[in-house]
Structures are given as structure tokens and as C-alpha cells.
Amino acid sequence: MKTQSKADLIKENKRTRIFFNFASLVYPIIDMNLFPEYRRALKKLDLPKEWTVLDLASGTGILAGAFAERGHTVTGFDFAKRLQNRAKRRFPKVRFELFDLMDLNTLPESSYDLVSMGYFLHGVHPDFRLQVLQEARRISRKHVIVFDYCCPGNWFVRFIEWIEGPYYPNFVNGNRKDDFNSAGLSVNKEIHLSDFGNVWLLSPVLPKGS
Ligand SMILES: C[S@@+](CC[C@H](N)C(=O)[O-])C[C@H]1O[C@@H](n2cnc3c(N)ncnc32)[C@H](O)[C@@H]1O
């Protein structure tokens, strides 16, 4: 795949933001299916409640909200205002900010215990995927947690992803562990959650500071 320049990324992000603000209409259906999956996964992972969380691409806030329900202090970043307005109404305990993940390099190193992202990576160019994973590794003190596709979904999933953009086939046919390793992350735990979804608990390949 052709490399993505900064100008391409800016153009693409503008398109993505418009798409997701528009898609806010169908989000209640997606949330109904995903929210229980996030809750189940976090119960299984059972991470210490005092660990702070930065949820990237927080959308309607269901992953951030699932963390908050378990007692974590959570911040959610997303750039789609309509989705974020829903998130703020539904999960008042979470601090949501309008933020373009392209600017993650402005955040201090090791500023949150956990950095999470739910169904974000499959929708972006491999170069931006790598950039966000590298930044997540830098910003987290303990772990990066990724929820996303493990395997090709049914026709409905493929149709939705076809509308979202061109990167889903590259993502589902790629090797996740290679992506994580390229960003300096290794898989600590991998849990299969549904016919097409996984969660990966990741740690820095080398301890931070070495
Ligand atoms: C498929 S949705 C997932 C939302 C949420 N994590 C969930 O699991 O329901 C992808 C989200 O990524 C957000 N997003 C995509 N590119 C982004 C960027 N560059 N900066 C901030 N948010 C972004 C979109 O606005 C959207 O809310």
C-alpha cells in the first residue's frame, strides 16, 4: 500500500470525521452489541481499578464507560462531536475531549496507566495505525489494550466496513502480532470475544527506559 503523507492523513481524517458524525444515527445498534462484549472482556482481564485509562477513539463512549463502571478514572479522546455528545450524556463520570489522534505526540510520556482503543485500528491506513500504536506505547505506563477484528466478519460487517473506508481488508488479512511488534509492543494476553472480535493486552517489548 502507498505510504500516507501528512497531507493525505489530514484529508483522510476530515473525511473520517464527517463519516462518523453522520454514522452517529446507527450507533445505538452497534453499541447494543459491543457494550456487553467490552464489559465481559474487562471482567475477564480484571485490571486494578486504581489504574487510570486513556481511551482513544472513544466514539459513543462504551469502552470508556465500561472501564468507568469498574471504578477506573477514564479520559476519552475522539474527534467526532456528535458521537462524543452522546458519550457525555451517557457516561457523565468520564472526561471526554475532542481530540485528533494525529496530535498524540503532544501528550506527556507515561501519563496514563492504560491506553485503550476499541475498533479504531482497522479503519485507518497502516502508517497511521503504526503511529497511534507507538504513541499509545509511549503514553501508557503499564499496558495498551486493543479491541478489534481478529477475523473476517459476516456479509453485514464487511458491508459496513466497505462503507467506512478501504483499510479493513488489509487489516483482517494482516498479522496483528507483527503490527504490535513493529510498534514495540508484545502480546501479554489475547482473548477471543466473538465470531470476529478479539482483545489484546499488550506490554512494551523492552521495559520502559531501557
Ligand atoms: C468504529 S468507531 C469506534 C468507537 C468506539 N471506540 C467503540 O468501540 O464504539 C471509530 C472511532 O474512531 C474515531 N476516530 C477515527 N479517526 C480519528 C482521529 N484521527 N482522531 C480521533 N478520533 C478518530 C471516530 O470518530 C470513531 O468514533
- 111 within domain boundaries: yes
CATH classification of the domain holding 185: 3.40.50.150
pLDDT for the residue 156:
79
pLDDT for the residue 99:
98
- 138 within domain boundaries: yes
pLDDT for the residue 136:
98
Secondary structure of 84-116 as H, E, C letters: HHHHHHHCCCCEEEECCHHHHHHCCCCCEEEEE
- 209 within domain boundaries: no
Q: Domains in the chain: how many in total?
A: 1
Distance of alpha carbon 30 from alpha carbon 144, whole angstroms: 23
Q: Whose CA is nearest to atom 3 of ligand 1?
A: 119
C-beta separation of 108 from 138 below 8 A: no
175-196 confidence digits (pLDDT tens): 999 999 999 999 999 999 998 8
Per-residue pLDDT of the chain (210 residues; tens, 9 = 90+): 889 999 999 999 999 999 888 887 888 888 888 999 999 999 999 999 999 999 999 999 999 999 999 999 999 999 999 999 999 999 999 999 999 999 999 999 999 999 999 999 999 999 999 999 999 999 999 999 999 999 887 887 787 788 778 898 889 999 999 999 999 999 999 999 998 899 999 999 976 655
pLDDT for the residue 188:
96
Cβ(107) – ligand 1 distance below 6 Å: no
- 1 within domain boundaries: no
Q: Whose CA is nearest to atom 4 of ligand 1?
A: 59
Atom of ligand 1 nearest to the CA of 55: 6
Atom of ligand 1 nearest to the CA of 117: 6
Q: For residue 59, how far is its CA from the centre of ligand 1 (angstroms)? A: 5
Cβ(118) – ligand 1 distance below 6 Å: yes
C-beta separation of 179 from 127 below 8 A: no
- 26 within domain boundaries: yes
- 191 within domain boundaries: yes
pLDDT for the residue 208:
61
Domain containing 188: what range? 6-204
Cβ(120) – ligand 1 distance below 6 Å: yes
Return mean pLDDT, the chain. Answer: 93
Question: What's the whole-model pTM score?
Answer: 0.95
- If you write DSSP's letter for every residue of 137-194 in order, what string do you get? HHHEEEEEEEEEESS---HHHHHHHHHH-S-HHHHHTS-HHHHHHHTTEEEEEEEE-S
pLDDT for the residue 189:
97
- 86 within domain boundaries: yes
- 54 within domain boundaries: yes
